A and B are shown apart, each in its own frame.
Chain A
């Protein structure tokens, strides 16, 4: 009995692991992830060319100060503005400036009305107004000039004010049972990356069960299998074998991710590696496996009741809803990891693999909640496997018309 189960596990595992898709996916996965991390960082760093702009000054006295301030303005240590002298006769009137913008000699211009010091109203005219980082810098620079001017006219020393109103620079330090460490968002970043891996792996490998069951039906090999081993053994062997292949890839991805982040944290010093506790590691693997078994069983039931992958699509969505919802909920959970919403959904079987794991990463929840979450998830898995085994037993030998949902319910009740 166990020898037969082992034979099936072995076959399923080897068939997956030996496929080209697996080898490519295992290598490409970390590269893609690294790409997802590195490319936005690089993209954010390259701010593009500085804005070419001119200042249209109706006050007749602020212009030069603003221009000087704009030339000095920096973002991430880079000058952001290339100021064209407004005095040059070609750019004297608003109409000419507009023309210059349209002809792309300028990116935009800043209009300062006569009462700008009192009203604080200024306008920017530009072809592109979605470059909000530059626009914020522009706004802040002009504000600083105006404030300095107002302070001076009220007889107050601007540098003194600047010193007196300096804002606080707050460090965030995470306190946990194992000590304290400074964290500038790396913990959240890590949590999201791990969450993403968990989510993607559960979906990919659940889908692998679906295609595998459908393929057995299409190639008709399932009848020979069903004549040799009980269908529950067949289902279990498939879940364990494919799950094992999934775990292999999951571990390969995770380990290479950890290796890359530790290496780059050490090399660049750009961020400190957030603390990774044994509890986090254990629950990462545990919630992958539990989540996989939960969703893979559902996928197996779907695969057994349809004839083609296309037919399966309509049934897949409702089944996937909990995990998709969980994925949508992560910002709320990060905001308040001990809040009622986070606690509730971290106990719901379909959502707990993602949500409870996320809570464990950001803030160790009470042990009883972790235990309850896992207990409910295991009960959920048992229920789902029980249902799936019944649907599977009837479905794998059914060809032709796709069964309706009431028919599938009947299989479960009478199976």
Chain B
């Protein structure tokens, strides 16, 4: 029994004119929630499609739940693509039972499993309604049920929380964590860094088809050092950007986040700020995933250019 849910080794995929994914290797441990991050056009969708065997990689190998990626392996995966899709004129129940049937679940069994899911996502009243009568948020929830009804061991979901109201968002988060507790592995792709930070154990950042960052969330943060300072104050903090050792200032008005250059001691900054401002807060904090994302992508972009 392999302890990896998903292993990519040296995956490459080129389309006419450009390389979408280049020499990408990833390992997703079982029972983890794995964040696959990257800006638009980074190659995430192409990667997910290769795992789902919709596209074949030009080079490299993919292993799913300890077996090579093939049609049998993907019955064990639940895939919710970025572009949602349901048959518009189908009754919700028929639709979901059908989606499970093409994953190999007998119809009667799928019907039996459907009730609790509809209940959980407050869709029970919509069971016999047509898909094109559902609101966008409901369709999103329906799509998620279609993704999990065959009880996949590996779940690959693209932006699972987008388009949901706060209540549904909480339900979705609970469901994802319940599924993980029940033994599933979840790969999620999202641009909402706060979500990723809260949900994921591990993340990988892809840019221009290459992996630029990989590890557990705390590893990634530690690697970016404890050199971010949160400052809250009264007065004009404009001078801070020009102080020695300050790499970057993110200004929120009454609140600043300052990134110091590597190896730079925050003490001189504290003294200077205390002398010139009325400080309410001075704290050395971990960099947010958001900042790490932006910095890494920008740096990698410059390097590649």
The interface centre, meaning the residue of B52, B55, B87 with most chain A CB atoms within 10 A of its CB, is B87
Contact B85 A220 (CB under 8 A): yes
CB distance from A223 to the nearest CB of B (A): 5
Of B100-108, B207-215, B242-250, B267-275, the one contacting chain A is: B100-108
Contact B85 A4 (CB under 8 A): no
User: Which chain A residues (205-248) contact chain B, with CB distance < 8 Å?
Assistant: 215-216, 219-230
Contact B85 A228 (CB under 8 A): no
Of A7-15, A162-170, A338-346, the one contacting chain B is: A7-15
Q: Does A367 contact B (CB under 8 A)?
A: no
Of B76-84, B113-121, B219-227, B297-305, the one contacting chain A is: B76-84
Our pick among B74, B84, B89, B104 for the contact of A227 (Cβ within 8 Å) is B74
Known: A15-B89, A224-B146. A4 touches B102 (CB 8 A): yes
Contact A223 B81 (CB under 8 A): yes
Per-position 1/0 for B124-163, Cβ under 8 A of A: 0000000000000000000000100000000000000000
Q: Does B240 contact A (CB under 8 A)?
A: no
Q: Which residue of B lies closest to A14 (CB)?
A: B94
Contact A3 B85 (CB under 8 A): no
Q: Which of chain B's residues have a CB closer than 8 A to the CB of A8?
A: 102
Contact A221 B101 (CB under 8 A): no
A219 to B134, alpha carbons, bound, how many Å?
14
Contact A220 B102 (CB under 8 A): no
Contact B98 A224 (CB under 8 A): no
Q: Which residue of B lies closest to A225 (CB)?
A: B102
Our pick among A15, A216, A227 for the contact of B79 (Cβ within 8 Å) is A227
The interface centre, meaning the residue of A3, A219, A223, A225 with most chain B CB atoms within 10 A of its CB, is A223
Q: Which residue of B lies closest to A1 (CB)?
A: B71
Our pick among A4, A216, A227 for the contact of B81 (Cβ within 8 Å) is A227
Q: Which of chain B's residues have a CB closer than 8 A to the CB of A226?
A: 52, 54
Q: Which of chain A's residues have a CB closer than 8 A to the CB of B53?
A: 227
Q: Does A397 contact B (CB under 8 A)?
A: yes
Q: Which of chain B's residues have a CB closer than 8 A to the CB of A223?
A: 49, 54, 81, 83, 85
Known: A226-B54, A227-B54, A397-B54. A221 touches B86 (CB 8 A): yes
Known: A15-B90, A219-B88, A230-B71. A224 touches B104 (CB 8 A): no
CB distance from A148 to the nearest CB of B (A): 74
Contact B85 A219 (CB under 8 A): yes
CB distance from A242 to the nearest CB of B (A): 14
Q: Does B65 contact A (CB under 8 A)?
A: no
Our pick among A4, A220, A224 for the contact of B101 (Cβ within 8 Å) is A4
Contact A3 B71 (CB under 8 A): no
Q: Which residue of B lies closest to A223 (CB)?
A: B81
A69 to B133, alpha carbons, bound, how many Å?
75
Our pick among B89, B94, B102, B106 for the contact of A228 (Cβ within 8 Å) is B102
Q: Does B187 contact A (CB under 8 A)?
A: no
A280 to B146, alpha carbons, bound, how many Å?
47
Contact B54 A219 (CB under 8 A): no
A3 to B90, alpha carbons, bound, how many Å?
20
A215 to B89, alpha carbons, bound, how many Å?
11
Q: Which residue of A lies closest to B106 (CB)?
A: A3
Q: Does B99 contact A (CB under 8 A)?
A: yes
Q: Which of chain B's residues have a CB closer than 8 A to the CB of A227?
A: 49, 52-54, 74, 77, 79, 81
Known: A4-B101, A7-B101, A228-B103. A220 touches B54 (CB 8 A): no
User: Which chain B residues (41-55) contact chain A, with CB distance < 8 Å?
Assistant: 49, 52-55
Q: Which of chain B's residues have a CB closer than 8 A to the CB of A7?
A: 98, 101-102
Our pick among A4, A11, A15, A397 for the contact of B104 (Cβ within 8 Å) is A4
A225 to B74, alpha carbons, bound, how many Å?
12
The interface centre, meaning the residue of B75, B85, B99, B146 with most chain A CB atoms within 10 A of its CB, is B85
Our pick among A3, A15, A19 for the contact of B87 (Cβ within 8 Å) is A15
Q: Which residue of B lies closest to A11 (CB)?
A: B98
Per-position 1/0 for A2-28, Cβ under 8 A of B: 011001100100010001000000000
CB distance from B88 to the nearest CB of A (A): 5
Q: Which residue of B lies closest to A7 (CB)?
A: B101
Q: Which of chain A's residues have a CB closer than 8 A to the CB of B54?
A: 223, 226-227, 397
The interface centre, meaning the residue of A11, A15, A224, A230 with most chain B CB atoms within 10 A of its CB, is A224
Q: Which residue of A lies closest to B53 (CB)?
A: A227
A226 to B106, alpha carbons, bound, how many Å?
20
CB distance from A397 to the nearest CB of B (A): 7
CB distance from A316 to the nearest CB of B (A): 23
A397 to B77, alpha carbons, bound, how many Å?
20
Q: Which of chain B's residues have a CB closer than 8 A to the CB of A15?
A: 87, 89-90
The interface centre, meaning the residue of A219, A230, A397 with most chain B CB atoms within 10 A of its CB, is A219
Contact B71 A224 (CB under 8 A): no
Q: Which of chain B's residues have a CB closer than 8 A to the CB of A222?
A: 85
Q: Which of chain A's residues have a CB closer than 8 A to the CB of B81?
A: 220, 223-224, 227
A15 to B52, alpha carbons, bound, how many Å?
27
Q: Which of chain A's residues have a CB closer than 8 A to the CB of B88?
A: 215, 219
A7 to B81, alpha carbons, bound, how many Å?
21
Known: A219-B85, A220-B83, A222-B85. A228 touches B74 (CB 8 A): yes
Contact B86 A3 (CB under 8 A): no
A164 to B87, alpha carbons, bound, how many Å?
78
Q: Which residue of B lies closest to A18 (CB)?
A: B89
Q: Which of chain A's residues have a CB closer than 8 A to the CB of B55?
A: 397
Q: Which of chain A's residues have a CB closer than 8 A to the CB of B106?
A: 3
CB distance from A319 to the nearest CB of B (A): 25
Q: Which of chain B's residues have a CB closer than 8 A to the CB of A3?
A: 101, 104, 106
Contact B86 A219 (CB under 8 A): yes
Q: Which residue of A lies closest to B97 (CB)?
A: A7
Which 7 residue pairs across A and B have the least CB separation, nearest first? A221-B85, A220-B85, A7-B101, A227-B52, A220-B83, A228-B102, A227-B79
Contacts A11-B94, A230-B71 given; 8 further ones with Cβ under 8 A? A3-B101, A215-B88, A219-B86, A219-B88, A224-B85, A224-B146, A226-B52, A226-B54
Can you sample 30 A-B contacts with CB below 8 Å? A3-B101, A4-B101, A4-B102, A4-B104, A7-B98, A7-B101, A7-B102, A11-B87, A15-B89, A15-B90, A19-B89, A215-B88, A216-B85, A219-B86, A219-B88, A222-B85, A223-B49, A224-B81, A224-B85, A224-B99, A224-B146, A226-B52, A226-B54, A227-B53, A227-B79, A228-B74, A228-B75, A228-B99, A228-B102, A229-B102
- Residues of chain A whose beta carbon lies under 8 Å from any beta carbon of chain B: 3-4, 7-8, 11, 15, 19, 215-216, 219-230, 397
